[in-house]
Chain A
């Protein structure tokens, strides 16, 4: 049914349609509205046969999900930012134990300095933790990806993170089509794990594995996740057949035909990118874009196929690998290994800085002129960093960078965007 609703509420409804049996909740901005709504749905009886557990930390949230999943219950939780880092140990544990937990990430920056706004540093920090990572472009896709995620997780026995940009999607009201229960039931069969904690058939789960078998266990984890490279497109196809709309898959291509410049990005910024692509196509530029939906497993082949005819690739990424630059672009470069294609890293939207059409246009124009650097920080305030760098040359000052800048000049958000 078509509804105008907030992204978080929509995702909560979608999750409820998947009939989770245990939901663990610990609040963190901007994830709160999701678990609040789920709590309400359980409490008012809309979502039956579900235990909603208010826990004392994110570490406990995922740990409760681990216990529940190992006991054969469909388990769900949601978090963001510091919360994801606080549960990091359990993130690796859940995948190591092969537990098909689904977790929403309301993408948000990582401090210090503390920042509640959107970027994707949080989920990027967990990219190698053995979870499948899907990134939603719109709230509609966030809904659809959750429905696909439960099936994907349970078919492969691998946990799945569905990442949606904090605030930009979680707090945005837009038109969404929330599927019917019967349709979701048809798409997501009941959870039927092969091995659970059961006194009838006692098993030991989580034993200490030594050097003699650890590599094999890790190899098989990798193998299992790589299977998602064919299962994800298959599920997306199934989904389209049943629900009548394309959602999910490994990547989405937009006006890539004949494009000399191709833009690659994850998540909601693809919407703005598409608008800029349209604008530039209208102006005669050969430009298109590719949105990565499945970041883990990384769709190496699909990306190579989509990008191989371009002259240059511009990766817009909402995260930073301090000391090297891009995270996503490093993987994109690997996909393009052996091809003579320039890959530019544009770090954008950190800590919620708005990624505007104007700034993207400027970066893409520069790329088209072959004048874009390998690593660019979009809308970087050069005066601020120059002043601080200059000062550093004369006086060394240890300690927090944000506060050091303040010593020189006070900067407050005094304009829109």
Chain B
């Protein structure tokens, strides 16, 4: 798809209408052709970012492969809410094996397809941040390193939501989870821990790595489409807010994803063979406070007393991201 820079003048609404885009570029919610790979009727919570992300990502992958797609799914919310036996929301061939082996299962599917000569069928592996950055990390790294023909999609909601909101290595500093509670002298998750899997994926020099969010589903679709046009190991990391785990209103899911990006806390970029090739620029950086305040997991930063030091530390994280990934839009880029 060709893209062109469009400047949106409506600010404060957090949405832009399709009417500002050309027909070809318009996001289509539902048509006869849309596969609805993750069909309605599943058991996700209201405002679930993961369900939204998965629906757009998998439908985009279906479009890109002419509906010849097989998915391997890690244990987690997505797996549980989509397949309460004997029902399933998946309209595609789909397998769940274990929590930590999804990338390897996908490798097996890809190997089988290759040996059977079913080259036109492609493989997606998907899981949450726990299944990706923690327990499934070994298999993920192995799949990357071998450059197996698999697109791995991580739906990052920054904790183990399926088991009741426990800390993962994708949980941000200061966030309250069930295992990093908002008690004691330094409430919430500790600073200076965690891992950045998109950067680690890049270190494997795989053909394609991208981050995206449910705040911009067109960008998400674009990246998945692009990933499906490439063979070898690919990784797309999608920020998907979780109202339950984040303590946010279901109707704020998209807004929070957008604030995560615009504050600089979640950099959106693309990389090919280990080099960053594109980033989604921030037009106007918002203070991290705007992003943190609507989330109960960060409530201890504001009440009973404002934790200025810790807020400053989080702001520093955002500022560093902006510097490091060159996220701020400059005049010459407008």
- Name A's B-contacting residues (CB within 8 A): 21-22, 24, 49-51, 53-57, 59-60, 63-73, 75, 89-90, 93, 97, 197-199, 201-210, 213
Contacts and interface: CB of A to CB of B under 8 A. Distances in A.
Interface string B127-139: 0000000000011
Contacts of A208: 79-80, 83-85, 96
B161 to A, nearest CB: 16
B206 to A, nearest CB: 15
Interface string B84-114: 1110101111111110110011111111111
B186 interface: no
Nearest to B80: A208
B145 A56 contact: yes
A59 B94 contact: no
B70 A71 contact: yes
Nearest to B100: A59
17 contacts: A53-B111, A56-B145, A57-B138, A59-B100, A60-B138, A64-B104, A67-B105, A67-B110, A72-B116, A73-B111, A73-B112, A198-B70, A199-B93, A203-B93, A203-B94, A207-B88, A208-B79
B63 interface: no
Contacts of B79: 208
A22 B115 contact: yes
A202 B97 contact: no
B67 interface: yes
Contacts of A206: 73, 83, 95-97
Nearest to A195: B93
List of 4 A-B pairs having minimum Cβ-Cβ separation, nearest first: A67-B108, A56-B142, A71-B112, A63-B104
Contacts of A73: 108, 111-112, 115-116
A51 B115 contact: yes
Contact of A68 (B67, B80, B94, B112): B112
A86 to B, nearest CB: 10
A183 B138 CA distance: 41
Given A51-B115, A73-B111, A66 B105 contact: yes
Contacts of A67: 72, 95, 97, 104-112
Contacts of B285: none
Nearest to B91: A202
A93 B108 contact: no
A54 B68 CA distance: 27
B114 A51 contact: yes
B138 A207 contact: no
Contact of B97 (A24, A93, A199, A210): A93
Contact of B139 (A59, A69, A72, A201): A59
Given A53-B107, A67-B72, A209-B85, 7 more contacts: A68-B108, A73-B115, A204-B95, A206-B73, A206-B96, A207-B96, A208-B84
A69 B108 contact: yes
A173 to B, nearest CB: 32
Nearest to B95: A205
Contacts of B105: 63-64, 66-67, 70
A357 B180 CA distance: 61
B145 to A, nearest CB: 7
B43 to A, nearest CB: 10
A175 B217 CA distance: 65
A202 B94 contact: yes
Contact of A204 (B90, B100, B104, B112): B90
Contact of B111 (A22, A57, A205): A22
B307 to A, nearest CB: 40
A205 B176 CA distance: 35
Given A60-B138, A73-B115, A208-B85, A97 B104 contact: no
Contacts of A71: 70, 108-109, 112-113, 116
B54 interface: no
**Counting chain A CB atoms within 10 Å of each CB, which of B84, B108, B109, B146 scores highest?**
B108
B84 A202 contact: no
A197 B116 CA distance: 12
A90 B98 contact: yes
Contacts of B80: 208
Contacts of B100: 59, 89
A197 B95 contact: yes
Contacts of A21: 112, 115-116
A53 B93 CA distance: 23
Contacts of A66: 97, 101, 105, 108
Nearest to A55: B142
A65 B106 CA distance: 10
A69 B105 CA distance: 10
A216 to B, nearest CB: 11
B69 interface: yes
A71 B84 CA distance: 22
A233 B75 CA distance: 39
A24 B105 CA distance: 11
Interface in B155-208: none
Contacts of B112: 21-22, 51, 67-69, 71-73, 75
Given A57-B142, A59-B104, A204 B83 contact: yes
**Counting chain B CB atoms within 10 Å of each CB, which of A57, A68, A69 scores highest?**
A68
A51 B107 CA distance: 11
B295 interface: no
A63 B85 contact: no
B35 to A, nearest CB: 10
Nearest to B141: A56
B83 A90 contact: no
Contacts of A22: 108, 111-112, 115
